[in-house]
């Protein structure tokens, strides 16, 4: 068994033995399952892209991203949170200072500490160019003093270090943007009330406040001028990871519907014998295969000029397909699809959440449309009537 096969097998077991049996309890308790993420670390799922010398698995993005499909069979929000932790670990090991790696790398890959990626602000939404969080540099020590407010911070109050994207001047544009590691216990860091969510209440989400938070120069992950490009690359990884998790969600919904339909008596046979039901499931199966191809292609192109477009295609298609699949599978069960025990309502809500995070479906269409406009400029004009 290859390293990748063993990691995927571990993720599959984690979804079956840890996530699925407990996720309803997690949501009722409204608390991040730290014991579960600790187990994920032991299973080798928290250092996917980090080199072995830092305790990681050393997988490529194209290989490691398949883990979220397995985890998504258990819960898409849990898979999303672990994917963001892995993105931060990847950024640290790939771009951080030696001092930062020494301070955090092994703790992040071992699960002793969790990391969160912090970009969005309340007023900016999907436009990171509109950013008000400022980091002023001390000309003598090189330390940074950060002030501002961030929104939709995942693992709020739960992560141990946050990778915060900031501007380092009042000049318009992105040439001054940086990414800085901010410890959760740094003086001046606080969080607002947790957002109330319906289907992923265990994942803490909140606003983050930074009030003259001072961090040393060694905490720089991406220096001024590199912050935006690095953040956009992180978002591309996140979008492909979400598409991967959506595949797991589709599989979970499809398997529930198949298991139900093969047993249910209907019109002298089983529900699964009905051509209409077969066609519905066939469409889901095709969408699942397309989504797999899209996220794997996107993961392989991250960091290249074609990466953002490939990630946009994956993020545009897979969450829509997942929501359609969850709703169709609910329909196949009839009234029973509404019952908690079959989990389809939770999957529908999760699919809706995955349509929104890290760039809505509409934002992906904007990215795709811009590429088409650019393409049109290279085409010869057709004869107009």
Q: Is the pLDDT of residue 227 over 90?
A: no
Q: What is the pLDDT of residues 83-104, one digit of tens each?
A: 999 999 999 999 999 999 999 9
Q: What is the pLDDT of residues 297-354, one digit of tens each?
A: 999 999 899 999 999 999 999 999 999 999 999 998 888 888 888 889 999 999 999 9
Cross-strand pairs, 144? 137, 215
Domain ranges of the chain: 3-114, 116-225, 229-376
Q: Is the pLDDT of residue 262 over 80?
A: yes
Q: Residue 2: its pLDDT value, please?
A: 61
pTM (predicted TM-score): 0.92
Residue 293 near residue 244, CB atoms below 8 Å: no
CA 27, 32, 34, 37 dihedral sign is positive
- The top-level CATH class assigned to 3-114 is mainly alpha
Q: Residue 126: its pLDDT value, please?
A: 67
Q: What is the pLDDT of residues 70-81, one digit of tens each?
A: 999 999 999 999
Q: Which position has the higher pLDDT, 265 or 365?
A: 365
Return the CATH architecture of domain 229-376.
Up-down Bundle (1.20)
Q: Residue 125: its pLDDT value, please?
A: 66
Q: What is the pLDDT of residues 120-161, one digit of tens each?
A: 998 876 677 778 899 998 878 889 999 999 999 999 999 999
Distance CA 98, CA 105 (A): 10
**CA angle at 334 for the pair 330 and 337, rounded to the nearest 5°:** 40
What's the CATH fold of domain 116-225?
Butyryl-CoA Dehydrogenase, subunit A; domain 2 (2.40.110)
Quote the tokens at residue 150: 């961030």
- For the residues 195-206, what does the mean pLDDT come to? 89
Q: What is the 3-state secondary structure (H, E, C) of 75-121?
A: CHHHHHHHHHHHHHHHHHHHHCCHHHHHHHHHHHHHCCCCEEEECCC
Q: What is the mean pLDDT of the chain?
A: 92
Helices (H), 302-360: 307-332, 344-356
Same fold, 116-225 and 229-376: no
Confidence of residue 261 (pLDDT cuts 50, 70, 90): confident
What are the angstrom distances between the C-alpha of 26 and each of 18, 78, 198, 204?
11, 10, 12, 11
């Amino acid at each position: 068994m290859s390293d990748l096969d063993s990691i995927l097998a571990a993720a599959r077991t984690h979804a079956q033995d840890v996530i699925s049996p407990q996720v309803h309890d997690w949501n009722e308790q409204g608390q991040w399952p730290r014991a579960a993420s600790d187990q994920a670390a032991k299973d080798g799922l928290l250092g996917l892209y980090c080199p072995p010398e830092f305790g990681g698995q050393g997988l490529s993005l194209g290989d490691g991203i398949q883990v979220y499909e397995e985890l998504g069979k258990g819960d898409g929000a849990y898979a999303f949170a672990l994917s963001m932790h892995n993105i931060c670990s990847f950024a640290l090991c790939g771009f951080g200072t030696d001092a930062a790696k020494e301070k955090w790398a092994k703790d992040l890959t071992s699960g002793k500490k969790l990391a969160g990626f912090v970009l969005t602000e309340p007023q900016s939404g999907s436009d990171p160019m509109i950013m008000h969080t400022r980091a002023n540099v001390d000309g003598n020590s090189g330390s940074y003093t950060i002030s501002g407010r961030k929104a939709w911070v995942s693992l709020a109050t739960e992560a141990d270090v946050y990778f915060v994207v900031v501007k380092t001047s009042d000049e318009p544009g992105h040439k001054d943007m940086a990414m800085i590691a901010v410890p959760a216990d740094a003086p001046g860091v606080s969080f607002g009330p947790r957002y109330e969510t319906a289907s992923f209440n265990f994942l803490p989400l909140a606003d983050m406040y930074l009030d003259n938070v001072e961090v040393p120069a060694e905490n720089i992950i991406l220096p001024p001028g590199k912050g935006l490009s690095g953040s956009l690359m992180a978002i591309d990884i996140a979008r492909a990871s979400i598409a991967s998790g959506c595949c797991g969600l589709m599989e979970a919904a499809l398997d529930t519907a198949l298991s139900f339909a093969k047993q249910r008596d209907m019109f002298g046979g089983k529900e699964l014998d009905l051509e209409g039901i077969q066609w519905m499931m066939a469409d889901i199966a095709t969408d699942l295969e397309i989504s797999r191809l899209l996220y794997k292609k996107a993961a392989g192109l991250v960091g290249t000029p074609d990466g953002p477009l490939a990630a946009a295609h994956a993020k545009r298609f897979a969450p829509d397909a997942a929501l359609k699949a969850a709703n169709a599978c609910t329909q196949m069960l009839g009234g029973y699809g509404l019952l908690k025990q079959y989990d389809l309502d939770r999957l529908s809500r999760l699919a809706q959440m995955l349509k929104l995070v890290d760039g809505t479906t509409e934002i992906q269409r904007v990215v795709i449309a811009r590429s088409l406009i650019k393409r049109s400029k290279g085409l010869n004009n057709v004869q107009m009537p």
